[in-house]
């Protein structure tokens, strides 16, 4: 079964952390699901990785290049690593040169740069901690157990497989209905008379639940048994329908493979929230109230 890349799980974990601390208005922005990127191949251990370039004696290994490749946007990771390997090596050479220039300029002594380095270190440690926590707790057994819980909490729903003939007027719908009553094939009448986008397939709507259709159409369709045609045209916001139910069934539950990504995201959210709550229990947290900004001075309107 396909797993989320670790970086995606951390990205979702970061969103959870943001949603726990931001105002409600901001949560709608930060609570969006993480985008799913293709999984990057794990880089070999740096000590065993071959050197692919040197900059003033400093080595760049294949593992270093693969690590950079893993951070590329999903669309770029669609390209094989070997196809862009020379470009990535060249990019890393440029980075090394700029980094060395910054060291020579002693930018690391700048207080602002030091603050940024501290923040970067904290972020790397946060990611490592969350990755380790999620890897330990999101097990296949836990995923399967949550899947079973979700199946039990969602009762099965009825579905019907229907076709329809959609017309602009009630008179046109009645004419189509009369043609079907005289023995004409429903699908052929739909192809000939229907104005809807499903006319090409004989009005086939496939299986659907009651909630997936507009109320007027759903009520009429679910009142029919397999093989029955609506006794009269049904009006909806789209026009007039003649409906035929081909089959009825209880909707099958989704397979684990269809919902495993959603379950992983759900577990990630729960684990991050629980981990943060546990850390807060044992932490000494002091929030210093900040002075409110002074109000604006009153203005005097100029005399007319």
Longest Cα separation, the chain: 92
Mind listing the pLDDT tens digit for each residue in 202-233?
Answer: 999 999 999 999 999 999 999 999 999 999 99
What is the domain class of 158-250 according to CATH?
alpha beta
Q: Number of helices (H) and strands (E), helices first, in the chain?
A: 11, 6
Q: Is the pTM here over 0.85, yes or no? A: no
User: pLDDT digit string (tens) for 37-62?
Assistant: 333 344 444 568 999 999 999 999 99
CB 52, CB 61: distance < 8 Å: yes
- Residues forming CATH 3.10.50.40 domain(s) in the chain: 158-250
3-state secondary structure of 136: helix
d(CA 159, CA 246): 11
Per-residue confidence (pLDDT) for residue 297, from 0 to 100: 61
pLDDT score for 25: 32
Q: Which regions in the chain score pLDDT beneath 70?
A: 1-47, 295-304
What dihedral angle (degrees, nearest 10) is formed by the CA atoms of 18, 22, 28, 30?
-20
Q: Which pLDDT score, from 0 to 100, does residue 230 have?
A: 97
Q: Please report the pLDDT score of residue 302 as a whole number.
A: 61
| Range list of β-strands (E), 104-212 | 158-167, 204-208
């Amino acid at each position: 079964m396909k797993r989320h890349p670790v970086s995606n799980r951390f990205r979702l974990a970061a969103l959870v952390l943001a949603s726990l601390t931001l105002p409600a208005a901001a949560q709608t922005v930060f609570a969006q699901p993480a985008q799913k990127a293709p999984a990057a191949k794990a880089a070999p251990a740096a000590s065993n990785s071959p050197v692919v370039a040197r900059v003033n004696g400093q080595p760049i290994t294949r593992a270093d290049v693969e690590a950079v490749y893993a951070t590329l946007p999903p669309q770029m990771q669609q390209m094989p690593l070997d196809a862009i390997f020379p470009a990535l090596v060249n990019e890393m050479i440029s980075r090394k040169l700029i980094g060395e220039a910054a060291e020579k300029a002693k930018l690391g002594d700048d207080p602002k740069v030091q603050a940024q380095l501290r923040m970067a270190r904290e972020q790397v440690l946060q990611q490592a901690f969350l990755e380790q926590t999620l890897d330990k707790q999101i097990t296949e057994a836990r995923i399967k157990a949550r899947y079973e819980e979700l199946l039990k909490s969602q009762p099965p729903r009825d579905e019907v497989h229907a076709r329809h003939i959609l017309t602009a007027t009630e008179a046109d719908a009645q004419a189509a209905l009369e043609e079907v009553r005289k023995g004409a094939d429903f699908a052929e009448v739909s192809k000939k008379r229907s104005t809807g986008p499903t006319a090409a397939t004989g009005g086939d709507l496939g299986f659907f639940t009651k909630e997936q259709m507009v109320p007027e159409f759903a009520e009429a369709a679910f009142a029919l048994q397999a093989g029955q045609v609506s006794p009269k045209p049904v009006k909806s916001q789209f026009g007039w329908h003649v409906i035929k139910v081909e089959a009825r069934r209880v909707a099958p539950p989704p397979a684990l493979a269809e919902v495993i990504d959603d379950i992983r995201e759900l577990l990630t959210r729960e684990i991050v929230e629980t981990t943060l709550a546990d850390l807060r229990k044992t932490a000494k947290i002091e929030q210093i109230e900040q002075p409110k900004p002074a109000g604006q001075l009153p203005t005097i309107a100029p005399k007319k």
